[in-house]
Amino acid sequence: MKSRILKFLQDADDILSGEQMSELLGVSRVSVWKHIRSLQAAGYAIEATPKGYRLTDLPDLLQPWGFPGRENRIHCHATVDSTMALARQLAREGCPEFTVVTADRQTGGRGRLGRVWHSSHGGLYFTIVLRPALPAPLSSLTTFAAGLTWACLLQEDYGIDVGLKWPNDLLVRERKLSGMLSEMEALGELVTFVNIGIGLNVNNDPTVEEPNAVSLVQITGKKIPRRDLLAGFLDRFERRMADPHGLDTIIAEWKPFAATLNRPVKIVTIRESIEGVARDVDDSGALLLELTDGSIQRIIHGDCFHQAEAV
């Protein structure tokens, strides 16, 4: 009901009377008024005039009712330690696929290789629970699908050209817009869940902690509602993941966006650091690194640092 009220108010050119709203929604005027009161309490700027209601400002809020059809699968929090921890608990308790945990802030945001993910106000931080019918060694294909989904969405809906750094950072002009972290549990060979945690710099300034990062507001000069971004991502991503063949061509589709191929890179893993030229990504998502002696090393996990221009 709340999402429908917001949609009517957003689409209205003028004030909407209580009577119009109750007809549109098929509920009493008192019920409309109660929902308006709770939207106001949640932070939506709805002016109540003698003639009716008007939305004066749409705050950048994430609330379950902002995601019609997904209300029962999306858990929106103001502050958490890390959305990864909450999502892991939900996944172990058997939550449905595509359950999402969001947070406006994280006090213990986690990055790859044990790093901290600074989660300042205005960024989009969430974890999505997947239950793909995949053998464990192919579970990382899901993060390639997530990166590709963002690249397509940002290009199509906002005209932003994104480069994908192996395995799954989003770069804009070599600056980091987003990072992803995945956690997987399997029973024997088969995956029981893969949780993908995504941090996207939206209306925040990430450069305070990460000088080489960038946010969408810094790129476009305009604030973008995080709800619109997340809803657009979930629509596209769920469609792909629900398709039994959605991952068949994922690496081939990912490569045109790749910012890592044919350039010198340093790969850092928990154990070692290796330098070479990133030559290709195989069908399982592993990076094929050409070493100085011309041999090819297959890298399954690691963080990648771009060294210089393409070779």
Q: Rounded to whole angstroms, how far apart are CA atoms 107 and 302?
A: 25
- Applying the rule CB under 6 A, the residues between 54 and 83 that interact with ligand BTN are 82-83
User: For 77-81, which contacts have Cβ atoms below 8 Å and span 24 or more sequence positions?
Assistant: 77/101, 77/102, 77/103, 77/104, 78/103, 78/104, 78/105, 79/103, 79/104, 79/105, 79/106, 79/107, 80/105, 80/106, 80/107, 81/106, 81/107, 81/108
Q: Which is nearer to ligand BTN, 53 or 127 (CB)?
A: 127
Asked if 247 is part of the footprint of ligand BTN (rule: CB under 6 A), the reply reads no
Listed ranges 41-49, 154-162, 193-201, 247-255: which one lies at the site for ligand BTN (CB under 6 A)? 193-201
Residue 79: both structure tokens together: 């502050």
Asked if 127 is part of the footprint of ligand BTN (rule: CB under 6 A), the reply reads yes
Q: Which is nearer to ligand BTN, 32 or 171 (CB)?
A: 171
Q: Which is nearer to ligand BTN, 124 or 278 (CB)?
A: 124
Q: Which is nearer to ligand BTN, 54 or 112 (CB)?
A: 112
Task: Collapse the DSSP code of 59 into the 3-class scheme (helix H, G, I; strand E, B; otherwise coil) and give the result.
Answer: coil
Q: Which is nearer to ligand BTN, 6 or 84 (CB)?
A: 84
The answer to whether 84 touches 183, Cβ cutoff 8 Å, is yes
Asked if 195 is part of the footprint of ligand BTN (rule: CB under 6 A), the reply reads no
Asked if 106 is part of the footprint of ligand BTN (rule: CB under 6 A), the reply reads yes
Binding site for ligand BTN (CB under 6 A): 82-84, 106, 109-112, 115, 117, 125-127, 169, 179-181, 197-199
